[in-house]
Structure formats: C-alpha cells, structure tokens
Amino acid sequence: MARAERKNQVQASVSLTKSVSEALPKQRRRSSVTLCRLTPTRGRPRLYDSDYIPRTAHVLCKEHGFTMKQLARVFGVALITLKTWMQKYEEFNIAVKSGRNRFDSEVVEKALLSRATGYEYEEKQIRNLIDKNGKRRTDTTIFTRYEPPNLKAIAFWLNNRKAERWNNDTKFAT
C-alpha cells in the first residue's frame, strides 16, 4: 500500500514539475533548483537569490495560484524557510502577495461573477454510429448551453461586495 501511495505522489510531482517548468522565466533556469521535491532537504539552507526567487514566485502565484506549500516544493525548501524569506526579504513578500492578488482578482473574481450572472458555453457530444453498410463513423454535435445564475454565488458576491447592505447577520430591534 505504501509503495502505491509513493508512486502516486511521484506521478503527481512529475506532472506538477512539467507545468511549473513551463511557467518559469526562460531567461534563467537553474539546474541547482530541484523542482517539486517531495520532502525538503535537511542541512544548510539554500542561498536566497534576490533576482530569481521573487520573480519566479510572482509568476507562479499570478498565473497558477500557487500556495505557500507549493512554492516551497518548487524552490526545494521547507515551508518554514519560505515564511522566513517572507519576513526577511521585502521584495519576496511583495512579489508573492501581488501575484496572489492578481490571481484572485483576474481569475477567481471573474469566475464568481460569471456564476452569479449566468453564462453560455459550448458542449461537444461525440457519438459512435454504425451506418447501413456496417461501417463505424463518429458524429459530432456542438450544443450551446446556458448555465443560469447560481443563488449561492449571488449571495456570496453581495455579502462580500456590499457587506453593509447584504450582511447575513440579521439584527432585530427589541
């Protein structure tokens, strides 16, 4: 059982490594940085590179919404080291926070808005058919579907955007 779990972890690590290596700046990829190590190394901490680390962290947070744990795996350090870097190096702290804010505002808020207002999407249906001659063929049909507004998304949006008017805390005068 442990061997199967380890194999699944390694496969997940390999797929994450591929997506991370595509997102890294191509100007400077260091071979000394091990991507997605499953367990952090022990011993002397890695040297902080003030040019590479903040830029890479910003890109990963902005484009992929990486968490602190995922960033620690990418840089091959422990989570506590990453938190220390956040406190010690202001440019790293700013890079991570601005990347997260951009991801939240550009990706997450747009998705929430589309769920709250409703949206159209295309759905492809592929059917395998057998014609009169006994030959197999595929029939592809594209449908345009409409997803109606989601009430929970609307309530969440109003509670966060107009908290003073749409707050869930109902207060009754006595």
**Domain assignments of the chain as residue spans, ordered by start:** 16-114, 120-166
b/e sequence 111-140, b meaning 16+ C-beta within 10 Å: ebebbbeeeeeeeeeeeeeeeeeeeeeeee
In three state form, how does the secondary structure of 106-147 look? Answer: HHHHHHHHHHHHCEEEEEEEEEEEECCCCCEEEEEEEEEEEE
Q: Is the per-residue pLDDT at 10 higher than 60?
A: no
Least reliable range by pLDDT among 18-32, 80-94, 114-128: 18-32
Q: Is the per-residue pLDDT at 20 higher than 60?
A: no
More confident residue, 95 or 108: 95
Q: What is the mean pLDDT of the chain?
A: 77
* Percent of the chain with pLDDT strictly greater than 70: 68
Model confidence at 5, pLDDT cuts 50, 70, 90, reads low
pLDDT tens digits, one per residue of 27-86: 444 444 444 444 456 666 557 888 889 999 999 999 888 999 999 999 888 899 899 999
More confident residue, 145 or 10: 145
More confident residue, 51 or 90: 90
- Report the distance separating Cα 32 and Cα 23, nearest Å: 17
